[in-house]
Structure 1
Amino acid sequence: MLKRGLGVPSIADASLTARMGRALLCVGLMLSLSGCGGRPVGVLVPSGTAAGASEVDLLVATTRAQSEEPGVLFSGERAPELSLTEIVVSIPPEKNRKVGQVQWPKKLPADPSRDFSTVSVKPLEPGPETQAWLNGHLPKNRRVLIFVHGFNNRFEDAVYRYAQIVHDSGADVAPVIFTWPSRASIFDYNYDKESTNYSRDALEELLQRASKNPSVGEITLMAHSMGSWVTVEALRQMAIRDGRVAPKITDVILASPDLDVDVFTKQMQAMGKSRPKFTLFVSRDDRALTLSRRISGNIDRLGQIDPSVEPYRSQLERAGITVLDLTALKGGDRLNHGKFAESPEVVQLLGNRLIAGQTVTDSDVGLGERVGAVALGTAQTVGSAASVAVSTPIMIFDPRTRRNYDAQLRRFGQSVGNTVGSTVTP
């Protein structure tokens, strides 16, 4: 389906190898700078909430080994079986925080009026306890959102980030997170990648349980970065094992997917035609994926493609994959790797449409068409949509938008022709 558009340069000469080494060191340095720094250890020790704060109740499934450190709960090592835990996270009042940001405590105990803090932690057993949690948190739409984090994440990183996404998006879902063993070190990229392989059976098991649960109506699966690999692999396994992906898994959102485009093509083919609807968040200035590309044979990463150019444009259209290009958005970190969670516009778009199973162009004039209209210089034809497109520099590429964009272009040409014709006197 997706064929890479760039050639693979030779790395045989020593000068190119040296340049790559310097580039890797540079990006690695940025990765370390964007890490946890002087953050206190043990933030998952319950420290309560505050007046005006919001609480997010998460079901956490993990293949990580338990930690002996208080407030850490789970380490970056691997456990033989899946563990389930309920964690309630307190989000500071809106007046004391920025949408899209996780405000880590500078010291412990956390100040819930200004910091993210942990309210409670409760281990759960599979079966009645998990079912009770689900029954108590499923909304009327009976939708479950399962999130899979990316590379270089501690357990608390994944939990607090997902709590922020759920809160800021306003998603009407039962929130579940799957966290796999990451050592949270830039020097353990290969360990983390193997940990995703180690965890794909467990993720498939979690998806099977959710899909077979009669209380669950639909499932949206969202993954970030390297988490996209284990997510797509679990879906591929399910399709091979059962002949299709479970019908309740209706939508898959991949943010900054750290996936080889050639491998992704094979994974999608293995899922068959009855696969879920896929939406990708990409950004060509994603420096973390630049590093991944260089250490992975210089093959294009799915999260860095330009969906407006061939061969990707036609291939994505044929596959029915929607792509949101966030390149024009300013990132909240030096790597531009977390735009999907840090941009207020994007998290609102996640909650209002994508997580709910809608497309981003499901109205008569969708967001993607608005962007196209402004690009054509016909903002007046879509009224207030112009301000939305200008303030939200998100380019959207999907089959419906492309067809309507072409039709709009034809109408615009006809409109200009008629206007010119009516003003010219014989």
Structure 2
Amino acid sequence: MFSRAVYPLRLIAVVATLAALSGCAGRPEGVLIPTVARADGATKVDVLVATTRRPTDTPGVLFSGERGKEPQVTEISVSIPSDSARKVGQVQWPAKLPANPAKEFATVSVTPLDRTGAEGWLRQHLPKSRRVMVFVHGFNNRYEDAVYRFAQIVHDSKADVAPVLFTWPSRGSIFAYNYDKESTNYSRDALEEMLHRLAKEPSVGEVTIMAHSMGSWLTVEALRQMAIRDGRVAPKIQNVILASPDLDVDVFGRQLAELGQKRPHFTLFVSRDDRALSLSRRISGNIDRLGQVDPTVEPYRTEFEKAGIVVLDLTALKGGDRLNHGKFAESPEVVQLIGNRLIAGQAVTDSDVGLGDRLGAVALGAAQTVGGAASVAVSTPIAVFDPATRRSYDEQILRLGTAAGNTVTTAVGQ
């Protein structure tokens, strides 16, 4: 633990870093204005976007960070440059408008939808797997931030899903933490209702929810409400992935208990070097945040084992941002893991996983499959995805040390 003298200095350092980062975006306003330009090799990603934000008349912004009276739905198509023109895991923001689709993300179309139109979009975009992936963004995100980031995740993970984004009223400012937190509470009913509709749609087979940072609070609260109202979480909601969850560990324990025994399978991405969560911890009473715990130590290891929660510790991965808060989306290894295994409800540590190029991890204990109860004893260093996936990323795979404590993957089961 830090001494009282060091504590304020650490906090000031984190705040200074956040402030510096908040002023370096330099993006043009209005990136959601559709462009007619096209580029060879570019890929189009269609996203259904539901929001509780207030509409704005500013062209290409669509929705502000203020709270809207009623949820609204929009279909947005985003053009993503060819893999040869971009780095996997990154959003290539336009330097100026109109965007250059050969090198940058560009908006292709924006179509407001009513409820009937949204249901039609969903049926049209469902893959053969009949899976839907719902993404809930985190703190300090503008509407366009959430749209482009989710489009990047869908593209880079090659997820076999119909992508649905739920974006809540974040002011997109590092100084609006408390406003953003209250906005998640404001949006709980809307997210719960959207999840109900997805689960009741006959054409939908299963739903995976992935939430980042403060969006994890919103997600778990909406599921908790559903469990209280209906007696359980809707059976089609099978997997919940919490990336860098900005959740008080004590509160999460109570939330999890209230979800009941028939709850979805949970996977957590944690990183002990997450500087954004360090700040959150300090302004939230110095209580551990779920996304920053060490899953190999007590009491966390035992509690994760009891709950059957799979924990993936990304501490040893090099982050793409100075805060180490977005590793789940920026690491080529992790986005492929999301698309190839987690969304499909597969284990990340079973015998299918290759043992060639290692990410330098030791899996501790018994590995619980994400989608079922079968367990496999794992005692050797592991890679987190299969050889076929890994070969396409040989040049990008990060070489990490194998020292104990630099755990990339810890999967614990009952």
- Would you call these one fold, judging by a TM-score over 0.5? yes
| Structure 1: runs of 5 or more not aligned | 1-5, 10-14, 404-426
Judging changes above 3 Å, is the alpha-carbon distance between structure 1 residues 115 and 390 closer, same or farther for their aligned structure 2 residues? closer
- What does 1:112-261 align with in structure 2 at a 5 Å threshold? 112-127=101-116, 129-261=117-249
> Which residue does 1:397 correspond to in 2?
410
Q: Which amino acid aligns with 1:179?
A: T
- 2:12 aligned with 1:25: yes
Give 1:20 shift: 4.1
- 2:346 aligned with 1:358: yes
Q: Which amino acid aligns with 1:31?
A: L
> Which residue does 1:56 correspond to in 2?
45
Judging changes above 3 Å, is the alpha-carbon distance between structure 1 residues 196 and 23 closer, same or farther for their aligned structure 2 residues? same
> Which residue does 1:88 correspond to in 2?
77
Give 1:28 shift: 2.4
Q: Which amino acid aligns with 2:351?
A: S
Judging changes above 3 Å, is the alpha-carbon distance between structure 1 residues 296 and 246 closer, same or farther for their aligned structure 2 residues? same
Judging changes above 3 Å, is the alpha-carbon distance between structure 1 residues 369 and 192 closer, same or farther for their aligned structure 2 residues? closer
TM superposition score normalised by structure 2: 0.87
Give 1:377 shift: 7.4
Other structure's SS at 1:186 match: coil
Give 1:197 shift: 0.2
Structure 1 CA distance for aligned equivalents of residues 32 and 21 of structure 2: 21
Give 1:398 shift: 2.3
Give 1:93 shift: 1.3
Q: Which amino acid aligns with 2:109?
A: S
Query: For 1:127-149, what per-residue CA distance to the aligned partner results, in whole angstroms no more than 9, with x for missing partners?
Result: 2x112111111000100000000
Structure 2 CA distance for aligned equivalents of residues 280 and 373 of structure 1: 15
Structure 2 CA distance for aligned equivalents of residues 286 and 332 of structure 1: 12
Q: Which amino acid aligns with 1:395?
A: V
Structure 1 CA distance for aligned equivalents of residues 154 and 380 of structure 2: 36
> Which residue does 2:64 correspond to in 1?
75
Judging changes above 3 Å, is the alpha-carbon distance between structure 1 residues 365 and 99 closer, same or farther for their aligned structure 2 residues? closer
> Which residue does 1:264 correspond to in 2?
252
TM superposition score normalised by structure 1: 0.85
Structure 2 CA distance for aligned equivalents of residues 363 and 279 of structure 1: 19
Give 1:26 shift: 2.4
CA contact (8 A) 1:360 1:366 kept: no
Q: Which amino acid aligns with 1:161?
A: R
CA contact (8 A) 1:144 1:219 kept: yes
- The two structures, once aligned, show a CA RMSD in angstroms of 2.7
Other structure's SS at 1:187 match: coil
> Which residue does 1:423 correspond to in 2?
none
Give 1:369 shift: 12
> Which residue does 1:110 correspond to in 2?
99
CA contact (8 A) 2:46 2:75 kept: yes
CA contact (8 A) 1:279 1:324 kept: yes
Structure 2 CA distance for aligned equivalents of residues 343 and 369 of structure 1: 12
Q: Which amino acid aligns with 1:64?
A: R
| Structure 2: runs of 5 or more not aligned | 365-377, 402-406
CA contact (8 A) 1:196 1:227 kept: yes
CA contact (8 A) 1:152 1:186 kept: yes
Give 1:32 shift: 3.2
Identity of aligned residues (%): 67
Give 1:310 shift: 1.0
CA contact (8 A) 2:359 2:399 kept: no
Structure 1 CA distance for aligned equivalents of residues 339 and 179 of structure 2: 33
Give 1:363 shift: 3.3
CA contact (8 A) 1:287 1:335 kept: yes
Give 1:21 shift: 4.1
Structure 2 CA distance for aligned equivalents of residues 169 and 378 of structure 1: 24
Structure 2 CA distance for aligned equivalents of residues 265 and 281 of structure 1: 17
CA contact (8 A) 1:322 1:396 kept: no
Give 1:25 shift: 3.2
Q: Which amino acid aligns with 2:153?
A: I
Judging changes above 3 Å, is the alpha-carbon distance between structure 1 residues 378 and 287 closer, same or farther for their aligned structure 2 residues? closer
Query: For 1:332-351, what per-residue CA distance to the aligned partner results, in whole angstroms no more than 9, with x for missing partners?
Result: 00000000000000001111
- After the TM superposition, which parts of structure 1 deviate over 6 Å for at least 4 consecutive aligned residues? 366-370, 373-379, 383-390
